[in-house]
Structure 1
Amino acid sequence: MSPAAVRPEPGPALLALYDDALPQVYGYLLARCGRRALAEDLTAETFLAAVTASRRHPPPAMNVGWLIGIARHKLVDHWRATEREERGLRAVEEITETFEDPWEEHVDAVVAREVLDTQTALHRAALTLRYLDGLPVGEVARALGRTVHATESLLSRAHAAFRRGYSDGVR
């Protein structure tokens, strides 16, 4: 048997990481999606994807950061799928608004979460990746599979929609 054929099973390493990483992965997802059931489903999908990835040769460096990266991709995939469903149901195009004004108001986290939940999946994804995860626009564009210019426009529309929803919710 060749040395390549005799590889240690990556399962025990992933299992050892599981106990430490589960609360962190779940917490990451829950903080971004705000719904327990969805965070639980995405956490399960994250670990299933990790099992599949751990069987590659050579296996990836398994750590919490790697799992959070997988979780981020699962969340983006979820938002993309949700957006495709919503787009199929929408008959009217969104009105594009562009303006440059830094919104420096104090934002109530509870109202902000409620307003974010009312946004389209694509707007939620863009706003979360940009402002909660702190990713630069280029990385947000890559995560969403869009060009940088399209992502800038999307962020502008999403910011305007969030701002309108937040202003309506505070009153």
Structure 2
Amino acid sequence: MALLEVYDQALPRVYGYLLARVGDPPLAEDLTAETFLAAVTAARRDQVSVSTPWLIGVARHKLADHWRRLARDRDRAEDLAADLATGSTGAAEDPWEVCLDALLARDTLARLGPHHRAALTLRYLDGLPVAEVAEHLGRTVHATEALLVRARAAFRRHYPGEPQEGRRP
């Protein structure tokens, strides 16, 4: 059976399989697209006979990959929260920082400007050293260090429940 025929037949089943497990239509659509892209790649290499059951298996693997990615992102967000709470010395600088929540950290990161978000993401979520962050951002190491200082300060200002100037947490 030609790939387009399999696509027409399998699309509703693959999408339904994924939607039932993730409950989010846009995410199910993305995972379905990834599944069919894998099918096209495999069909071009003549590695498999593409069928609906095979596609459901690929979808299962794509879903597992997605869950692993979420877990990795959650762990990185928790690491970011811990790093920002303790600073580079390992000791908490402010009492409120000890209680940083990973989900709030992720939301706060999303509200930052793109330059601050990029610097913090590369440094803390991706775990890159400052020199590599500088290279990715097209900056000098010293300029990147200054950017990271400003980005951490912006993060703290935007973090919900952040103590205001002159007030104790």
- Which TM-score applies when normalising by structure 1? 0.45
TM-score of the superposed pair, with normalisation by structure 2: 0.45
| Greater fraction of residues in helix | 2
Higher RCO (Cα < 8 Å, 6 or more apart) = 1
Whichever of the two has the greater Rg, that structure is 2
